[in-house]
Chain A
Amino acid sequence: MEKKIAVYICSGCGIGDALDIDALSKVASKEYKADICKSDAFLCGKNGLELIKKDIAEEGVNTVVVAGCSSRVNTDVFNFGSDKIVERVNLREQVAWSHTGDDEDTQMLAEDYVRMSLAKLKNLNIPEPFIGENLSSTVLVIGGGFTGLTAALESARAGYKTVLVEKEAVLGGYVGKMYKQVPMKPPFTELEENSIPALIKAAEDAGVKVYTSAVIAKTAGGPGMFDVTIAQNGTDIEERVGAIVLATGAKPYEPEKLGHLGFGKYGNVITQSMFEEMVAAGKMEANKVAFIQCAGSRDQEHLPYCSAACCIESIKQALYVKEKNEEANVYVYYKDIRSNGQYEHFYKRAQQEGVIFIKGDVTDISESDGQLTIEADDHTMGTKSEADEFDLVVLANGMVPTAALGDLVEQEAEEEAAAASDEPKATVPPVVKSNLLNLEYRQGPELPALKYGFPDSHYICFPYETRRTGIYAAGVVRAPMDMLSAVEDATGAALKAIQCIESTIKGEAVHPRSGDMSFPEFNMNRCTQCKRCTEECPFGAINEDAKGNPLPNPTRCRRCGTCMGACPERIISFKNYSVPMIGNMVKAVEVPEEADEKPRILIFACENDAIPALDMAGINHIQYNPWVRIIPVRCLGSLNLVWVNDAMAKGFDGVMLLGCKHGDDYQCHFMKGSELAEIRLSKISETLNRLGLESERVRATTVNIMDYDKIPAMLDDFAAELEELGPNPMKDFQ
């Protein structure tokens, strides 16, 4: 496409007061020879938009540069159709609102941003969406328990063909075997009838296609085109589906490991599920019962996490005992009662019924004549306690996600590991052969785990989403939870699956870059088969073909650019995001000579948290260092080291990466990006030192969206350190 570029500079929102608009226009029209350059006092208003639309219609403008507010706002206003390129220059949040008005340095900053945008446009093209062949909009739900049935029902009711696969002969799962269930509606104090029969009926009525006694033998393909092999009674059935909800649930923690609580030793020490069956069968006769909470959970020796549902399940079971005999003696030994949300009412109800709650650790359980004695440390009173004559002790033995059951997939083959051993590597998420999905993916047959074997991806921003696009985990396979949360999860995951199907049909990315039509293109003749892209893609989007070449699966791609940053040959690019494009932006900055004493700091800021934080700083009119030049990147994972080289050669005094905090407690939105960037950075230090450049000039820092008020200090600290080092020695050689 021959670009006809028009630059529109807005002087509204205080921009005109802070900057010399005419001088800015000159940069666009004289220096960069933009075909048209105009300014307006209110560009997003009726007249401003008319101005642009008129030029599009009459002058044949197809590339619109809006120099005004942040690209995070007014996206709908400045949308002139999918055949027009729109580029935004952020003069408002990142210049006028965050720097001194009418100032030489602020003006230089604005002019550089105009230069950077116009330089970027050189290599930028309109993405052409990838539309897969034979796309399916069927939702596959794996697991026919409470969560799976709910998800299937929701997706069928939303009008999507739904297939449900259950490995048992009957639907219902764990909840199906319950005598009664915990309250699901106000006032959250009453035991409810088991909802599974009604759910099964509703799902059947809604037209869900059910396979029982069936498992997934193989999952190939990607969103919109998953080819799933379902193995049922020795025969294989093929289904093509658009997205998958994994709702395979959890298993109770093995009680055999709880010998210290008497399990296996005394017949009257049983688990929650055994108690449930006993009551359902009408065989529960006990009148003095103890429940022991956190039997396994929140215990470093067993399950380090809280299983989240056992407290209220025990409360429910305590009420079974009271329901049968009001005078029964029921005790609950607990670490903390975790009756989240509305379930606090349920807890209170049990108290009112006279169930005694004892905060304490059980230290010993003994038996004589079939009756049990419990010794415990009572933490509320700080004493030892003893209670005897129990007919039954019920252990709340917690839950283990089905995704964690199985052996770890062996790490990369020996030689590969050895070859790469001199290079630092990102931590590889564990993949367990749990035999749930049997993915035909280069990066392993199942979903990678986030923590403790739970296959979530980003617990804050994208629940349900896993690291395999189009596959959504819901219910207790994703995280321990109670039934109310499981309903929410099932519905949420079904909606995500639908979103994925719809986006794939349009060739758009799903979250977090929803709507993005670009996808990575590989210039294969220069590929050295190093496999970096395959290994580093956080979403398993790149397989390998028979010859060992990367085989991209565009519908699995989330457009993060991690592969682009990983490729040493730089053969991966997007139509609107590429290594040369960002390189051109770096080179477009005017770096003053050493004698001018105007240092320059280049910042690569991730669009997920860092850019919004910088914008927030602007919105709050927090002033920061005018030496910085900010380049937004899709994810720090897309950082290619050549940009750092370019910046150093150009004479920048320092380079800073602003990305998300990585690790388990707060994650990068693309899982690995910020971690990978840091690792890549560590590789470059040596090169820099060799060039006589201090490696301290380049650094990676983490910010989250709420850190906006800390940004000025972060930048100033870095600037001060750079001052110590003195100016970049390459400065005047550019």
Chain B
Amino acid sequence: MEQTNKLPEKVKYDLKFAREIYSLENGSYIKQCMQCGMCAISCATRDIMDYSPRRLFNLIKLGKKDEVMQANTFWYCTSCCTCLVRCPRGVPLVDVMHDLKKYALDNGYGDYPQAAFYKAFWAEVAGRGKSFEGGITARYFLFRGLDEVLKYMALRDVGINMLKHRRLPLLPPKKVKDLGNLKKIIRKARELSGKEAR
């Protein structure tokens, strides 16, 4: 299986970017990756990833910020956890992938549809305490631009079927009770994530 790689040109090792990533909550685990390739052979979506997890980690060490941030790798990670349980070095790959997604969003590398979906999902849940498919969809198309709607018309049968089976409510659900406390929890979690980063 040949990987759909975009191999970088000649690299100049530069630790600035790497150190930034190491400072994310789980970023420092990347340091202990020994390039054994266990994650790469375990990953179900590796074939469609630009770089396998291991290569992505290596790129971080090489300081290739653009390549890393523009890669689809962490957006294609399905959080299936297979690599995580197999990694002999105990790298919590799924958490690292989450950190990378967040870092990408915070730094304006959110071009992937998955990014828009994440943002939409998060905005819904943070604002309501519950997810609402209609809201997520609406927000998603807002982020992605209305052109995207046309592409998704092909899926309208699915939508109609889901409606028929009451799997796609038309009206938003009620917010959770005491939304204020939820917001506090989220704030606290954010603080902690900053602190726990090593």
Q: Which of B31, B32, B35 contacts A380 (CB 8 A)?
A: B35
B28 close to A385 (CB less than 8 A):
no
A354 within 8 A of B: yes
Query: A385 to B10, Cβ gap below 8 A?
Result: yes
Asked if B7 lies at the interface with its beta carbon under 8 angstroms from chain A, I say yes
If A348-B89, A380-B58 touch, does A385 touch B12 (CB 8 Å cutoff)? Answer: yes
Which residues of A in the span 318-371 have a Cβ within 8 Å of any Cβ on B? Answer: 329, 331, 337, 347-348, 351-352, 354, 356-359
Find out whether the CB atom of B7 lies under 8 angstroms from the CB atom of A381: yes
Q: Mark interface residues in A84-121 (1 if CB within 8 Å of B CB, else 0).
A: 00000000000000000000000000000000000000
Is there an interface contact between A383 and B7, defined as CB atoms closer than 8 Å?
yes
The chain B residue sitting closest to A290, CB to CB, is B13
User: Would A354 and B31 be within 8 Å (CB), given that A381-B58, A381-B62, A385-B62 are in contact?
Assistant: yes
- Asked if A358 and B8 make an inter-chain contact with CB atoms under 8 angstroms apart, the answer reads no
Does A351 lie within 8 Å of B34, measured CB to CB?
yes
Establish whether residues B11 and A378, one from each chain, have CB atoms under 8 Å apart when the complex forms.
yes
- Which residues of chain A come closer than 8 Å to B55, judged between CB atoms? 380-381
Contact check, B31 vs A387: say whether CB atoms are below 8 A apart: no
Cross-chain contact B32 with A348 (CB below 8 angstroms)? yes
Cβ contacts under 8 Å, A384 to chain B: 10-11
- Across the interface, A386 reaches (CB within 8 A) one of B7, B10, B35, B89, namely B10
Q: How many chain-B residues does the 8 Å CB contact rule pick out?
A: 23
Of B32, B58, B62, the residue contacting A351 (CB under 8 A) is B32
Q: Given A347-B34, A354-B31, are A381 and B59 also a contact pair (CB < 8 Å)?
A: yes
Dominant SS among interface residues on chain A: strand
The size of the chain A interface, using a CB distance under 8 A, is: 22
Whether B22 pairs with A354 at a CB distance below 8 angstroms is yes
Chain B residues numbered 1-24 whose CB sits less than 8 Å from any CB in chain A = 7-13, 15, 18, 22
Kindly provide the distance from the CB of A138 to the nearest chain B CB, expressed in whole angstroms: 48
Find out whether the CB atom of B11 lies under 8 angstroms from the CB atom of A386.
Answer: yes
- Shortest beta-carbon distance, A30 to chain B, in Å? 70
**Complex CA–CA separation, A531 to B55 (angstroms):** 64
* Chain B positions within 8 Å of A356 at CB level: 13, 15, 18, 61
Q: Is the CB of A387 within 8 A of B8?
A: no
Residues of B within 8 A of A351 (CB): 31-34
Nearest to A331 among chain B residues (CB) is B13
B11 touches A383 (CB 8 A): yes
Q: B58 — which chain A residues lie within 8 A by C-beta?
A: 380-381
Contacts of A331 in B (CB 8 A): 13
Q: Is A234 in contact with chain B by the CB < 8 A criterion?
A: no
Instruction: Judge whether A381 and B11 touch: CB under 8 Å.
Output: yes
Q: A354-B22, A359-B35 are in contact. Are A383 and B10 (CB under 8 A)?
A: yes
- Would you give the shortest CB distance from A114 to chain B, in whole angstroms? 58
Residues of A within 8 A of B7 (CB): 381-383
* Complex contact B32–A388 (CB within 8 A): no
Name the residue of chain B whose CB is nearest to the CB of A385.
Answer: B11
The A-contacting residues of B in range 42-82, CB under 8 angstroms, are 54-55, 58-59, 61-62
- A381 to B68: give the CA distance in the assembly, Å: 13
Report the bound CA distance from A331 to B13 in whole Å.
Answer: 9
* Nearest CB in chain A to that of B13: its residue: A387
Q: Whose C-beta in chain B lies nearest to the C-beta of A373?
A: B12
Contact partners of A388 in chain B: CB under 8 A: 12
Residues of B within 8 A of A329 (CB): 15
B32 near A352: Cβ-Cβ < 8 Å: yes
Q: Tell me the bound Cα distance from A352 to B89 in angstroms.
A: 11
Complex: how many Å from CA A445 to CA B45?
A: 65
Q: Mark A375-415, 1 if CB is under 8 A from B, else 0.
A: 00010111111111000000000000000000000000000
Q: Name the B residues within 8 Å of A354 (CB-CB).
A: 15, 22, 31
User: A354–B60 Cα gap in the complex (Å)?
Assistant: 12
Instruction: Give B59's nearest chain A residue, CB to CB.
Output: A381
Q: A380 to chain B: closest CB distance in Å?
A: 5
A383 engages B35 (CB within 8 Å):
no
Of chain B, the residue at the smallest CB distance from A349 is B32
Complex CA gap A347/B58 in Å reads 17
In the bound assembly, the distance between CA atoms of A388 and B34 in angstroms comes to 23
CA distance A384 to B58 in the complex (A): 14
Residue of B nearest to A382 (CB): B7
**A129 CB → nearest B CB, Å:** 55
- A383 in contact with B8 given A348-B32, A352-B32 (CB within 8 Å): yes
Contacts of A382 in B (CB 8 A): 7
Render B68-102 as a binary contact track against A, CB cut-off 8 A, 1 for contact. 00000000000000000000010000000000000
The distance in angstroms between the C-alpha atoms of A358 and B61, with both chains bound, is 9
List of B residues within 8 angstroms of A357 by Cβ: 34-35
User: Which residues of B line the A interface, CB within 8 A?
Assistant: 7-13, 15, 18, 22, 28, 31-35, 54-55, 58-59, 61-62, 89
User: Other than the known A383-B9, A385-B11, what 14 A-B pairs have Cβ atoms closer than 8 Å?
Assistant: A351-B31, A351-B32, A356-B13, A359-B35, A378-B62, A380-B54, A381-B7, A381-B8, A381-B58, A384-B10, A384-B11, A385-B10, A385-B13, A386-B12
Q: Which 5 A-B pairs have the closest CB atoms?
A: A387-B13, A384-B10, A351-B32, A385-B11, A351-B31
